[in-house]
A and B are shown apart, each in its own frame.
Chain A
């Protein structure tokens, strides 16, 4: 199983603050993802990366940005947090064989913006 770590687990912050959600994985996976999920809703892909210096926006538009300077690290940044950013943010990495993929998720960051 992949080891993938997210910090912080919970974050309560005021409007206008800059925040960075950390995500690291120790399995050497090239592919990493950020999903956003609200209760009762599907997971929405907001960013993904297929390797160092590669980042792409996902299906759901997000004001956040990401970077991939090292294989194991994929942080997400919000320059100015707003209450609409309140959500759970899930980081994942994947291993693939042939055309098959399996995602491994971190424990998530529950973000509340007041």
Chain B
């Protein structure tokens, strides 16, 4: 049973517009969330994260919003650029990971930014 869900396999936007990537989770014990970006044949790279004590975190063009009651988070990219075209993975960490730390990933959303 998937605990982190990215229901949109793909998203296409025009350069300069906003990209919104969504992620839902089912486990209320998750308390820290991360977004990773992955190009083909490369490893994922860390993009931005948010703690469950916040509802928003911003880093340049990237903003992550967290709605704990809805168990939903979203990544906003403004303005979108062709170089943002990649697969974006949402990931979550369980409270008290400690020695049992495990990062749970979604299936990813392929973002295509058209010039």
Contacts and interface: CB of A to CB of B under 8 A. Distances in A.
Interface of A: 4, 6, 9-10, 31, 40-43, 45, 48, 50, 58-59, 88, 90-92, 94, 96, 99-108, 110
B75 interface: no
Interface of B: 2, 4, 9, 31-32, 34, 36, 41-46, 49, 51, 89, 93, 95-99, 101-103, 105-108
B96 A99 contact: yes
A40 B107 contact: yes
A42 B101 contact: no
B43 to A, nearest CB: 3
A38 to B, nearest CB: 10
Helix, strand, loop or mixed for chain A's interface? Answer: strand
Contact of A43 (B9, B46, B105): B105
B42 A107 contact: yes
Contacts of A45: 102-103
Nearest to A35: B105
A101 B44 contact: no
B43 A106 contact: yes
B43 A99 contact: no
Question: Ordered nearest first, which 4 A-B pairs have the shortest CB separation?
Answer: A105-B43, A43-B105, A42-B105, A42-B107
B42 A108 contact: yes
B17 to A, nearest CB: 25
Contact of B49 (A9, A48, A102): A102
A9 B103 CA distance: 24
A101 B42 contact: no
Contacts of A40: 9, 107-108
B43 A101 contact: no
Contact of A41 (B4, B36, B107): B107
Contact of B98 (A4, A48, A99): A99
B53 to A, nearest CB: 11
